[in-house]
Structure 1
Amino acid sequence: MTVHTRRIIMNGVTGRMGYRQHLLRSILAIRDDGGVLLPDGDRIQVEPVLVGRSAEKLQALAAQHDVADWTTDLDEALADDTATIYFDAQVTVERKKAILKALSAGKHVYTEKPLAESVDEGLEIAEAGAAAGTVNGVVHDKIFLPGFVKLKRLIDGGFFGRVLSVRGEFGYWVFEGDWQPAQRPSWNYRAQDGGGMVLDMFCHWNYVFEHLFGRVDAVMAKAVTHIPERWDEQGRRYDATADDAAYGLFEIGDTIVSMNSSWATRVERKELVELHVDGTHGSAVAGLFGCRIQPRERTPKPVWNPDLPTDLDFRAQWDEVPDNQQFSNGFRAQWEDYLADVHHGRPHPWDFMSAVRGLELVDAGLTSSAEGRRVVLETRTS
């Protein structure tokens, strides 16, 4: 067995997502488990190099997790030829310039989404990535969720017949920050800092829809700011200038997808995200972990009668899809795939161009909301 070590420059790991999902539950977990096991018996071991603005936070993280290298100087980190991968989990507005620097330094680049703030910026990054000739990838974590893996299994197995429609619900109540601290960073609710539900979640929904149902042909959307004022991490009041909810209707061939995304909703469902898929031969409801099905052979025949309460327990008429495999953290699963692609020098399937298509959907959704019309996507990407 040969161990191949990859040193990874990780920028933005003092933030919530960068720390919890990427550093702690992905890279450090891979390191502590002895690396990624390859089919030939070799392993890819990882060594993080922490980068950020706060020396105090970085030093504390490094000491806590036995990480040898950290710096507040990105240029210094990029000049290290032994660190061949750059990862970006910064706020969106800082991402473009850092990724372009990393590509110029000849690094492989893996990044959180959104890739950029606009389609044009995303295309600029994608073109730079193609010119660099390195392996680039963008976090598409939701397709690795156990519930969505099970849903994909059903689709590929022909369970649904013809998929007719999809109804999606995502979100929860994010506290305003005055009488209870908010559980999301304040920049998410300021448009000038790269916040906004459409920019954040339409990038996700685009790759989820592509993976499960196909490319989006057209969209009608309404973006709103339900909560106009919030309080930041220091308890200071600020104007919420970004949309905190988005209601979308997406056309994918003959399939109609309605997707509600909101930070101003209280949850009355089994999981924080659910997709209800109806097909001619069966239906399914998939969430983060679970997936319930109802084939046509077990479909009941309810009758509308507003004069009497129903005696049917509709939720009890669905069956759970078994796991049939061991699922790991979705962020870690994609990290392992990406590291294997870098090792073998092959393209990562969820690359910069896939992220640009997400930005195209963002642009179409915002245009639809502003102009009150259906927008057909005229993609500039393959």
Structure 2
Amino acid sequence: MTPSNPLNALNFSGGPGALPDSVLQQVQEAIRAVPEVGLSILGISHRSDWFAAVVAELEDNIRRLMGLPADYRVLFLQGGATQQFTMLPMSLLAGRSEPADYLHTGYWSGKALPEARKVGPVRVVWSGEAGGFGRLPADGELDFNPRAPYLHYVSNETVEGLQFHRLIGRDDVPRICDMSSDFLSAPGDYTRFAMIYAHAQKNIGPAGVTVVILRDTLLADAPADLPAFLDYRAQIAAHSILNTPPVFAIYVVLLVTRWLLGEIGGLAAMERVNTAKAALLYRALDDSDGFYAGHAAPADRSKMNVAFKLPTPELEATFIAAARAAGFSGLGGHRSIGGIRASIYNGLTFGAVEKLVDFMDGFRRQAPRP
């Protein structure tokens, strides 16, 4: 196999994000020919026995990693998290008089709100918009409705770099969580969620596939007249192969789960790596005498996305240009808040964060003060 690409190793993009080097090498081989099949992954039928085995193994790997019992279904769907913004209220909110509870904690949770409102009533339990989404709510600020059809929230706000480090909601109300940017990054009490969804391109694979995990009982009262493609029950019956699925993307996610199980050693081990990466990078912010100003309140800092600013927009532009020249990519902040964002997903190594911190320290020492 060819040597690893150093540019991939320093990819801090918010998505699609960095993938492990060993996975990229297997993907390179599979594009030419999957070893056990002899055909390119790009030309293998989704109706083949080989692909059915891929889906079955991937379901099993996710169950093992997350500790999911038999009454949870694992689906691999299309449309990204954006499709789930509509698909889940179509199943759980349509025709209801009681509003669903939603938290508005950042850019992506805000995207889910108007889509749900097209289907049924929504109550925003808490919004951080007035404060520029700089923090998450404390427990005392949350008043959940025990009669709500469900609670929806985003576990990790990719844009603002905010992450819940505790479970939110009531156990007697279905808890639904968009985990797109911290999925499979740490162990958790996942059986207390009625539904979890996560598009792959942040943390577990390329764009094109979204993992949806749901408890069987969640669909008991879903409308009977949903279009098949937007009906979880039809997707479950078809084992995620209702139509032509994204074979390539699903295969890469399988390789990532094998990497998590075989090379990393599970989610507890992955969490230790992610915690060390985040601690190193946040220390660089905190020790910079205000030169690098983090966006998120310290208690709510994300271990996946580190958003920060420099003293002036001009310095930020210079920083991004200098970082690009030094071999780093993907450090520009999201268009909604600007600044800098370093995404340190599972596939990004501790060594890559060390290099970024060294670069940041050198840039700070040489930069003119405004």
TM-score w.r.t. the length of structure 2 is: 0.30
More helix by share: 2
More strand by share: 1
TM-score w.r.t. the length of structure 1 is: 0.29
Higher relative contact order (CA 8 A, sep 6+): 2
